[in-house]
Structure 1
Amino acid sequence: MECLPVPYTKYVSLSVGSFVKIKGTFVMPFNMNPELQVDFLTEAEGNENIAFHFRVYCDNHVVMNSRQGGNWEEEVSTSVISFEDGQPFELGILVLSTEYQVTVNGHQCYTFPHRIDPGSVKMIQVWRDVSLTSVTVT
């Protein structure tokens, strides 16, 4: 299967019920602390406003946040890592009316409340230490 370029960007229009599915693998073992980052950007250019920021640090934690006017807001962090070392992953992000619901390999793992209207999201960016096979929005 052909890999997508990283960083990968996709222009989108999100609404309640939208589902983002990202399939890939980490390009190095977890003891080398690979990272995965997904950003829901409200502008096609620049990153001043990020409606949803999801970043996995495979050594020990996951961070979720949002950014408005160039300023990061209060970070939500958890030590629950639901990814498996050396295994492909399927990351799902469901847009609900009040929050994003994040699944890893079909298991609901994280939630993050909307701070910026998901309808304002124009682009998704996926990057860091991953090889991507698909990014779809339904």
Structure 2
Amino acid sequence: MAAIPVPYTKCVSLSVGSFVKIKGTFVMPFNMNPELEVDFHTEAEGNKNIAFHFRVYCEYYVKMNSRQCGNWDEEVRTSVISFEDGQPFELGILVLSNEYQVTVNGHQCYTFPHRLDPASVKMIRVWRDVSLTSVTVI
């Protein structure tokens, strides 16, 4: 399957029950600290408001946050890294009524409460040190 250009952006409309599935691989070994970032923007352009920010620092931690009126809110961090060095990943983000539920390779790993209405999300951006094979929204 052909690689998708990174950074990747897609206009979307999310609601409770929406599921975002991202398949790819990191482009360098974990000891070089590759990163993966997924952002749910409330505007088609710009990054003033981000309903959900998910960022993986492979050698260190995963952080989740939101951004309102250009200001970051309090971030949530975990040292649990559910990705495997050198292996393809399937990242899933399910929109529930009160939170995002994040799975890695089919295993539920992280949750993040809604701070902005997921229905306000207009665009998804996936980027950093990854090669993508697919991004789908169901």
For the superposition of Structure 1 and Structure 2, which TM-score range results when normalised by the shorter chain? Answer: over 0.9
User: Are 2:38 and 1:38 equivalent residues in the alignment?
Assistant: yes
The CA distance in 2 between the partners of 1:5 and 1:100, in whole Å, is: 25
Corresponding position: 1:97 with 2:94: no
Q: Distance in 2 between matches of 1:21 and 1:46?
A: 23
SS at match of 2:31: helix
What is the correspondence of 1:1-138 to structure 2 with a 5 Å cutoff?
1-138=1-138
| Alpha-carbon distance in 1 for matches of 2:123, 2:75 | 21
Amino acid at match of 2:33: N
| One-letter code aligned to 2:99 | E
Name the CA distance, whole Å, in 2 between partners of 1:136 and 1:34.
23
Residue segments in structure 1 that go unaligned for 5+ positions in a row: none
Aligned residues: 138
Distance 2:3 2:10 in 1: 15
Superposition CA RMSD, Å: 0.2
Cα deviation code 1:48-100 (max 9, x no counterpart): 00000000000010000000000000000000000000000000000000000
The 3-state SS of whatever aligns with 1:17 is coil
Percent same amino acid among aligned pairs?
A: 86
In the aligned structure 1, how far is the partner of 2:67 from the partner of 2:85?
Answer: 30
Task: Supply the distance in 1 between the matched residues of 2:63 and 2:117 (Cα, whole angstroms).
Answer: 20
Output the amino acid matched with 1:52: F
* Structure 1 stretches of at least 4 aligned residues deviating more than 3 Å after TM superposition: none
Question: Could you tell me how far apart the structure 2 residues matched to 1:132 and 1:45 are?
Answer: 21
**TM-score calculated relative to the size of structure 1:** 1.00
Shift in Å, 1:103: 0.1
- Secondary structure of the 1:28 match is coil
